[in-house]
Amino acid sequence: MYISRRKFLERGSLAVAASWVGVGKLFGQADVIAQMRASGATAKIAVVPARRGVSVLMGSGGNIAVLPGKDGKLLVDSGFSTSKTQITEALNGLGAEPPKTLIDTHWHFDHTDGNEWMHAARATIVAHENTKKRLSTPQVIAAFHASFPPSPAGAIPTVVFSDSDSLQTNGERIELKHYAPAHTDTDISVHFVNADVLHVGDTWFNGFYPFIDYSTGGNIDGMIAATKLNLGRAGATTVIIPGHGPIGDRMVLAEYASMLQAVREKVAALKQQGKSVEAVVAEKPTGAFDARWGGGFMNGEGFTRLVYQGV
């Protein structure tokens, strides 16, 4: 019951590959990553207004937030490098100023692959110090049997922080905060304070089971904690940008939080009975949730395996 190859290519996201755990042999891991990157070349970019000048570019890897203005554009995440042409066109549609600042929400390549060209276009790259470390050194994502070489020098963040940071640009105050390990150990949130738009990176997959990257520090309990933190920060009218999926709000995020908690509890109870991961998968602990959350990036089996690993 894995998603189709066609759907996988259409979605063009790192998370999609998680559904291929176990069928990686069909394509080989290097091929999966190469296919995802290649999908960026033909990706169509949708520009969705969030609030007060903040827009979201959707279609190439993770969601890219943009705040244009006289100081130069501020961007959050850079998508696939192969989408440079379409992303440039979308950015030009938002104003003539060049990119000035690029913030990476975490190290994953569907969020940082465009770093090098955006830096060449004059953007300074800001990220958590762990993102710099991981982009500077070889990385492995075991769930995909995938290896990543160090990124080129121009793609490495040059402004880093450990706990929090803030910056002021285009009449907006932007606050950056590191999460305790959740999706990875590099995750940060980006809050446009005046607009009250909160980009939460891959701590939230809106409408889909999330991928959790245990290889680089992620775990299910961290995802739940990060989601609770996001709920605590968001007000009733906060616009929340997920790493993947449509823009949402506190109510939709609360539904995701309940799903994470419920699946975690079910899987933990079964594991505590001494059941193997295969036995737990066979019991379909996500059964009640698959119709709502299992239709896109990752199916119930893949998510069950990720939760099992962390409880």
Question: Which residues of this protein are in contact with Zn ion, per CB under 5 A?
Answer: 108, 202
Q: Measured from the CB atom, is 18 or 195 closer to Zn ion? A: 18
Neighbours of 40 (CB within 10 A): 24
Q: Are 243 and 203 in contact (CB under 8 A)?
A: yes
Q: What minimum distance in Å lies between the beta carbon of 208 and Zn ion?
A: 12
Say which DSSP state 199 is in: E
Q: Measured from the CB atom, is 105 or 170 closer to Zn ion? A: 105
Of 10, 20, 16, give the one whose Cα is nearest residue 208: 16
Q: What minimum distance in Å lies between the beta carbon of 181 and Zn ion?
A: 13
Q: What minimum distance in Å lies between the beta carbon of 52 and Zn ion?
A: 27
Alpha-carbon distance of 148 to 181, in angstroms, equals 20
Q: What minimum distance in Å lies between the beta carbon of 106 and Zn ion?
A: 6
Q: What minimum distance in Å lies between the beta carbon of 202 and Zn ion?
A: 4
Number of residues that make up the chain:
311
Q: Measured from the CB atom, is 108 or 305 closer to Zn ion? A: 108
Q: Are 29 and 140 in contact (CB under 8 A)?
A: no
Alpha-carbon distance of 174 to 201, in angstroms, equals 15
Residues contacting 267, CB < 8 A, separation 6+: 280, 285, 304, 307, 308, 311
Q: What minimum distance in Å lies between the beta carbon of 256 and Zn ion?
A: 16
Q: In this structure, which amino acid lies at residue 28? A: G
Q: Measured from the CB atom, is 185 or 202 closer to Zn ion? A: 202
Instruction: Please report, for residues 49, 228, 309, the alpha-carbon distance to residue 262 in angstroms, rounded to integers and kept in the order given.
Output: 33, 14, 16
Neighbours of 276 (CB within 10 A): 11
Q: Measured from the CB atom, is 172 or 202 closer to Zn ion? A: 202
Q: Measured from the CB atom, is 183 or 266 closer to Zn ion? A: 183
